[in-house]
């Protein structure tokens, strides 16, 4: 994820790339790619919501901020599980953006 600055009231695209931990190739996992987003005070704005696939291994979630949302650093966490049992692979990616 890349850090960006947005204005309150903007629709913020939150992007994630999912890569195979063994090969580093872009990949689509067997399970949904999920996003959680918290504001600067720790209030959850998005709770474990499914992201939309835009291309192989590339996912996006569009969050629409409001004029009353807190100014500051918003923390994004993307999680995904590929497979089940002992062979399951997990990917967790952190990032965020600044709302001004």
Please report the pLDDT score of residue 44 as a whole number.
98
Query: At which residue do the structure tokens 């695209």 appear?
Result: 13
Please report the pLDDT score of residue 2 as a whole number.
52
How far apart are alpha carbons 87 and 94 in whole angstroms? 23
pLDDT single digits (tens) 15-39: 999 888 789 999 898 889 999 999 9
Would you list the domain boundaries of the chain? Answer: 5-99
Please report the pLDDT score of residue 95 as a whole number.
92
Query: Coil, strand or helix: which one is 60?
Result: strand
Strand order in the sheet with 52-55: 11-17, 58-64, 52-55
pLDDT at 1 over 60: no
Q: Quick one: fold of 5-99?
A: Immunoglobulin-like (2.60.40)
pLDDT single digits (tens) 41-99: 999 999 999 999 999 999 999 999 999 999 999 999 999 987 777 777 777 889 999 99
**For range 1-22, the mean pLDDT:** 86
């Amino acid at each position: 994820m890349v850090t960006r600055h947005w204005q309150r009231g903007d629709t913020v695209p939150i992007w994630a790339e999912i890569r195979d931990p063994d090969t580093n190739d872009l990949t689509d996992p067997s399970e949904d790619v999920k996003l959680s987003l918290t504001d600067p005070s720790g209030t959850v704005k998005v709770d474990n919501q499914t992201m939309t696939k835009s291309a192989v291994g590339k996912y996006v979630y569009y969050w629409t901020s409001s004029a009353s949302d807190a100014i500051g650093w918003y923390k994004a966490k993307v999680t995904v599980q590929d497979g089940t049992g002992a062979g399951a692979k997990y990917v967790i990616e952190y990032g965020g953006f600044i709302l001004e």
